[in-house]
Structure 1
Amino acid sequence: MSNIEKLKEYLVGSDGRKGYLLDDKLSNGKVIMLSGAWGSGKTHFWKNEIEPKLDKSIYISLYGKTSLREIENEVLSKSFLIDFSDEDIKNISIFGNIAKNIVSIMAPKIGEKLEETKTSLVNNFGKNALQNGGLLCFDDFERKSKDVDLNDLFGFITQLALNFKCKIVLILNSDVFEGKEKKLFADLKEKSVSKFFKFNPNSENLFEIIFNKYTLDEKHKMIILNAINEFGLLNARIYENILENFQEYIEKNPVMTNQEVRYFVLTLINFNLLHIVFKFYDYSYPFLGNSFKLPTFFIDQKDLSVNLVNS
């Protein structure tokens, strides 16, 4: 069983068995951590393999968050919005402070004063969204701003878990902390985190779960994967870029040889990693009775996907 399969089975169960996150007796009030290298597909795994199995969950990226107050506001906002319809959510701007927008929209509608509205939001947060088994996922934990103190952040997260008896999942790359912050992180993790999981898929496992999102012919699957493995590449975002562009291209050019598929994939990888673009030229060999398309590369800063799809 692969690393991805083991994690999925443990967290959400299989064959009628409850997973850890679905067993309130085991996981309520607990903080767990899922760590893996950047680009290894942690977020994709969470959103596509775990989150759909959960009754209610809130997802928050800490990328670029500059203060604990900003994080608190987003937790409050998303916990309030979890029971809203998609139409209600459309009426709230994604720009600026969402919590302020909620107050400004809701207060005139229900005739409450500002402080009463704030109290209503907090009560709704505790009662409906997270209390007694709700789940809150903080992604990109290590990409928070340096202005957010680790002590304060862990303190906030721990209090959420304990006070509301909810489950907290932290997704991050724990290997990037350095110096004093590395030691502080290790100390706080030991005090606050109940379970630590290593997300460490191989290219086949990661490619499999991403490939299944697309409507591509199985005959191309191994050709694409083998081309990826020529680079020893393990990066979910690049896999998605390859498959999205290949699906778009193959719809317009349905007849491709295996070699052309391989060249196409290698071209996309080179562009993603090095901004090297390959162009194909026909080379005729009359004495062999056929012709070949061979790649010649040049450096270009244009969007490769546009060049290829529109060519």
Structure 2
Amino acid sequence: MNQAQEQRLEEIFRKNENKEIAIAITGCWGVGKTFFWNNFFKSQTIKEFDTKKDFYYEISKQQYLNVFENKKYAYVSLFGIESLDALKNEIAIKLGWNPYSQYKHAHYGIPQLLKNTLNQFKDIKLSHYGVSSSSRLIESLLFSQVKNAIICFDDFERLSEKLKIQDVMGLANQLKLERNCQVILILDESKNEDENKKKYAEYKEKLIDETIKITSVEPLIRENTKGMDESLVNLMVKFAEELEIHNFRFFQKVIKLYKMFLGGISGKVADSTKNIILIRILQGYLIEDFGGDKKITWDDLTVSASLARRAKKRKEVVDINEVQIFDKLEKVSFYLVNGGDEWQIQFKKWFDQSDKSDFKLLSELAESELISEENNKLILCTRQKKITH
């Protein structure tokens, strides 16, 4: 659950005691880097507040080292920003006190009136009335206040062609060295264009002090499945780990379809039925999103196909790399590679859209006494015997 990364990041911040530092939070696209940072920043802020709340003397609160709670902060998405000046303005406009702070600060830092004025002037070009000059003066004044703050840059992968990565890295370096800022850069190092990759690598050695790599999509899965059975959530987490699917957008689709289908069923649904419904949905999106690359079709996930693979294994006439993916699937759940039932037939129709899937039939199956815990266990036992003998 990225707990080791959270502990490491907290150690980095507390060890540096509000000193300048640049930290890269990396990981593949969709793994939850932004979620990780926002969740970390919020939880650390609340923890600091709760700690100070227990102090009896006000002087103790004032002397307590605030690493997060009493800090100025700006979160900046690089998407849509097309110049270095525009980026500086965005930082200045976004800068404010920690949004998760529980204290009401007596002063805001940069007057909101100046921010509002800059917002009005920033798109106005040179005129006879000197508006552009006034705007630049305000910009300079606002940016001069950006210091002793936590600045987070996100969406490097969506960087405009007009804004060079070396300019962003150079500004981050300026904020770090000249403004005593703690800079967070959230990015997927593998997704930058070739030239940007080269420039990033050059600046990384000079700028980045620490790197936190996010490798698990589990926190995002758990955050978005509140109310679902724990066993089903654990099944998705195990599926993500075994199949090395680190993009939460895959599981967003799975969760949405599962909830949509279960929402249309009245009455109590057996736990084993919920399990098989989720498995068939996982199968469908696995084939839809990765079937071509992993060479998996619906026909490969049936009892007959599983029997055929086992026969080939015994005769040692099968490519081990070809079978590896099916071994991983079976490790997650026996049902994933031993389908062929009415559930799979109907969900296959839905995903293929080659025929109208009968969701009414599936609903009836889910509500039927035939699809009970006892009956599901009997079906599973029969299939397992067929496979192992």
Q: Residue 269 of structure 2 aligns to which amino acid in structure 1?
A: V
CA contact (8 A) 1:137 1:169 kept: yes
Q: CA RMSD in A?
A: 4.1
Partner of 1:262: 279
Give the Å deviation of 1:123: 5.4
User: 2: CA distance between counterparts of 1:265 and 1:180?
Assistant: 37
SS at match of 1:262: helix
Give the Å deviation of 1:24: 7.6
**CA deviation map 1:261-293 (0-9, x unaligned):** 211333344455679xx9xxxxxxxxxxxx843
Of residues 165, 176, 183, the one that matches 2:198 is 183
Are positions 1:20 and 2:15 aligned together?
A: no
Q: What TM-score does the superposition give when structure 2 sets the normalisation length?
A: 0.54
Partner of 2:20: 29
Match runs of 1:70-85 below 5 Å: 70-79=86-95
Of residues 211, 219, 227, the one that matches 2:222 is 211
CA contact (8 A) 1:59 1:138 kept: yes
Give the Å deviation of 1:163: 2.9
Larger CA Rg, structure 1 vs 2: 2
SS at match of 2:95: helix
User: 2: CA distance between counterparts of 1:250 and 1:239?
Assistant: 16
What is the aligned residue count? 256
Q: Measured at CA, do residues 160 and 198 of structure 1 come closer, stay the same or move farther in structure 2, by a change above 3 Å?
A: same
Of residues 180, 185, 190, the one that matches 1:165 is 180
Give the Å deviation of 1:137: 0.9
Are positions 1:234 and 2:246 aligned together?
A: yes
Higher relative CO (Cα under 8 Å, sequence separation at least 6) belongs to 1
SS at match of 2:201: helix
Give the Å deviation of 1:172: 0.9
Of residues 309, 334, 344, the one that matches 1:294 is 344
Give the Å deviation of 1:208: 4.4
Q: Measured at CA, do residues 223 and 61 of structure 1 come closer, stay the same or move farther in structure 2, by a change above 3 Å?
A: same
Unaligned runs of 5+ in 2: 46-68, 100-114, 122-129, 293-297, 299-340, 358-362, 364-389
Partner of 1:8: 6
Q: Residue 152 of structure 1 aligns to which amino acid in structure 2?
A: D
Unaligned runs of 5+ in 1: 13-18, 84-97, 105-112, 279-290, 305-309
User: 2: CA distance between counterparts of 1:126 and 1:266?
Assistant: 55
**CA deviation map 1:232-254 (0-9, x unaligned):** 42212222333344345434436
Match runs of 1:84-233 below 5 Å: 102-103=119-120, 127=145, 131-132=147-148, 134-177=149-192, 179-201=194-216, 206-213=217-224, 214-228=226-240, 231-233=243-245
Identity of aligned residues (%): 23
Q: What TM-score does the superposition give when structure 1 sets the normalisation length?
A: 0.65
Q: Residue 12 of structure 2 aligns to which amino acid in structure 1?
A: Y
Q: Specify which structure has the higher proportion of strand.
A: 1
